[in-house]
Structure 1
């Protein structure tokens, strides 16, 4: 029976900040329009019993969308049930719609998991030399793709991958849950992402990406299960989401050492708003892979609980690249090892070919309106020798916790900037009466 219903229609009302500082509505760059075609996975033999393998059904349904295009594209409906499947590719002008109670579940049999080439800005797999496993849902060179629904679930069943990683038995880098490469006009909303084998949502070399109203879950001890990692991508909006994983909740990246420098594609115009969550690592992170550069990032109205580090900007000698025009504001954190860390000695290298003299530029980082309780150490800002971090601006920050001889409130080196109404009072490097570019604060 042909499915009959209306496609979800809305405008994604989030924002990004342009390089000129102008706030721009994301609804102007990623409108979600009407799909003229509707098909159901059951029309292609999909069975949601949790046991039947549905790889053929998903691949045939997406083939139909790709080769019988309709004006406005086609919606693929997944009704309630548990649909076990191997990885599959997405195509342009499609909406993957998960009904309430629908679960798309990854098989745990890695023997049929496709291998793909490493990303050129990384030069190898992120974990191991050579290629990498394809993401569970993968889009390469696609546009106008929507993953949405009624809070259905995409389950990566990652525990088998985590155990192989712990045992050192993997030969290639683990798969992400969802990855878009060289793609544009992507919307991900109203879906639960669960137990990713590796990073959860990874837009790379992509533009005009909206991620909102998502829930991302993985155990605290699951290795490298980052929530959302915009990577060498532009015009990315992340908002109104809850993330609780084993690694950084949101991490902005742009390539790794000499490979990222050569590829030279920065991440820019990234907005993160109204995100909450918990992790043993960072809440809002930039890096550590930033060799293509990161600029124009705004993160605001963030709530963090039981964190390793609240706000972490991280790079290393050999990275090159730049980190500039970063603003983080209106952050609440409760129980954190460290409130703020801006560090130039974090992250390893892909191989021994990196240039140790490729020093990163970190300039123009503003952190303001931050309140923290049960914070063990307020902050650590450690620049790079011969490339100090400049224009580090701290305003209206109150981080309360345990301090003493073993836990000084702040540690700083190779940094200059300005502080105003910061408690506990930061290091002398940020106490200058010369505000410099920090005078733009309002």
Structure 2
């Protein structure tokens, strides 16, 4: 364990930090001038894992064989390591420079459910350095690497994950409990082992590395440290193409501090109840292309991150220059997401021509006090959504680390609103441009909730057509511009709620009907203007509460 911890800190020192002087001048990007992502290139030489002793019998571990093939390929200048059709059982696989790990059709690379095959190593969880079990597919400081083909990579995540009773049917729950494992005292959550349960009981950060924690401490709760399926750290020129990545213990695909990453035609799949079962988490990466891919997972679908709280700010590596296009997200907590661990910032993000079907929230931007970081220059267009249980478009600075849709029995209290000083822990969301969004079915059309000390700013929504139960809700927002927004709602009381909104422009807003058109509250509203608004469909135009003044709202028909 001492050697492991020593190597941990050696690795963390090796991570390059970006000073203000190194950041240089900003480069302007747009949809007509997208960032350029460098591509991989491999020699044609092939290294078949069968030639290194691998057996496709569904029993024999091929960990040594597949890693030996990768090492041999790397030493000879690179090429393609071939995983033929068949069922291959393996422990962790380390990818090395100039190696393309290629899974042929009908190949299943099944990572073993034997936890002893995964050593405890320094890794990362939600942006914080942690002790965790080694990820099944991993690489550190490698260049020109790929996982390609049309096979399946299965992380064996069902052996690792806890499961909430409220997320299963009665029959599913009975079968799960009968399979083994242990239950919490309230019998509402299943854990695969006692060690996993004990780890969940530790308050604070059980995986944090500190001098007062012994090897026995980590080993006693080893099962609790679920690994992400694929983690590539500080790598350059990465390609993931054609492969299905499924059944991850925690996050599915996780490029971390990488540069020039292409993710194309992949399928990320997890059970909908998979705790922390994100599809794709792009963290502190630069120059990324995601296209023609499908996500059907248990947590966020496509997510942008950059580290958590002080660690993320110290790393100071924003996720930047990202293109996401022509992709589909089915079940997920959010279709396209930024946050909540975005303390290093995010900028120059371009999302286009994507479909979200049944995601809890469509476009989801979340953060909270303590994160810090700046999220800016976000461009999104041509998004289609269906059957969204929550908000179609959400900006929220009160993220509370709970499922976006409350389960039966969950009690949700509204956050306490208080004005606090602005400091490095205050997050900033600004400069969002969202155009041409259609949503058939949502709980609420648009929700914007900033902090009293830091409004969400410069949000531009145009050509929006949403069918939902509720309309527009803006709290602590400034420079909010909505143009050509069509709302078909079930409950029109109010159609538009604004609390402490400043410089809110509402142009050409159309709707089917409303009991109350505007509800304005708070003593810090100013310059709320409408034009092209038909007030005749509403029974009442406006209501002013909690210090709001009538002069803050100007309705121009």
For the aligned pair, the TM-score class normalised by the smaller chain equals 0.7 to 0.9
| Alignment check: 8 A CA contact 2:436 2:462 kept | yes
The two structures have a TM-score, normalised by structure 1, of 0.85
Q: Does 1:389 align with 2:394?
A: no
CA contact (8 A) 2:42 2:100 kept: no
**Aligned-partner SS, 2:148:** strand
Q: Is the 8 A contact 2:304 2:339 kept in 1?
A: yes
Q: 1:105 to 1:295 in 2, by over 3 A?
A: same
Look up the match of 2:418: none
The Cα RMSD (Å) is 2.3
Count, aligned residues: 398
The answer to whether residue 285 in structure 2 is matched with residue 233 in structure 1 is yes
Out of 395, 399, 409, the residue aligned to residue 342 of structure 1 is 395
1:268 and 2:275 aligned? no
Task: Specify the SS of the correspondent of 2:293.
Answer: strand
The match for 2:436 among 363, 369, 386 is 369
Q: Larger helix proportion, structure 1 or 2?
A: 2
1:322 aligned residue (363, 368, 374)? 374
Q: Distance in 1 between matches of 2:125 and 2:225?
A: 15
| Contact 1:120–1:259, Cα closer than 8 Å, also in 2 | no
CA contact 1:190–1:214 (8 Å) conserved in 2: yes
2:64 to 44, 50, 56: 56
Whether the aligned pair in 2 keeps the contact of 1:19 and 1:296 (CA below 8 Å) is no
The residue number in structure 1 matching 2:518 is none
What secondary structure, in the 3-state scheme, does the structure 1 residue paired with 2:275 have? Answer: coil
Helix, strand or coil at the partner of 2:161: helix
Which deviates the most, 53-62 or 316-325?
Answer: 53-62
Pairing partner for 1:413 from 461, 465, 475: 475
Q: Distance in 1 between matches of 2:370 and 2:98?
A: 40
Do the aligned partners of 1:229 and 1:253 also contact (CA within 8 Å) in 2? yes
Report the CA distance between 1:92 and its aligned residue.
Answer: 0.4
1:280 to 1:78, Cα distance in 2 relative to 1, 3 A: closer
- Structure 2 unmatched ranges of 5 or more: 1-25, 163-180, 182-188, 200-220, 403-420, 488-494, 508-526, 529-557
Residue 304 of structure 2 corresponds to which residue in structure 1? Answer: 252
Distance 2:484 2:308 in 1: 36
Tell me the distance in 2 between the aligned counterparts of 1:120 and 1:421: 41
Distance 1:382 1:40 in 2: 54
Deviation at 1:273, TM superposition (A): 0.3
Tell me the equivalent position of 2:103: 98
Separation in structure 1 between the aligned mates of residue 278 and residue 152 of structure 2, nearest angstrom: 17
Q: Which has the higher contact order (CA 8 A, sep 6+)?
A: 1
1:108-140 C-alpha deviation (Å, 9 max, x unpaired): 011221222144983344xxxxx1122110010
Contact 1:274 1:301 (8 Å CA) reproduced = yes
On the 8 A contact 2:40/2:237 being kept in 1, the answer is: no
Residue of 240, 262, 265 corresponding to 1:188: 240
Does the 8 A contact of 2:87 with 2:107 survive in 1? yes
2:360 paired residue among 308, 324, 345: 308
2:442 alignment partner, SS class = strand
Q: CA deviation at 1:202?
A: 0.5
Long gaps (5+) in structure 1? 1-17, 126-130, 350-354, 404-408, 436-442
Looking at structure 2, the residues matched to 198 and 336 of structure 1 have their Cα atoms a distance apart, in angstroms, of: 24
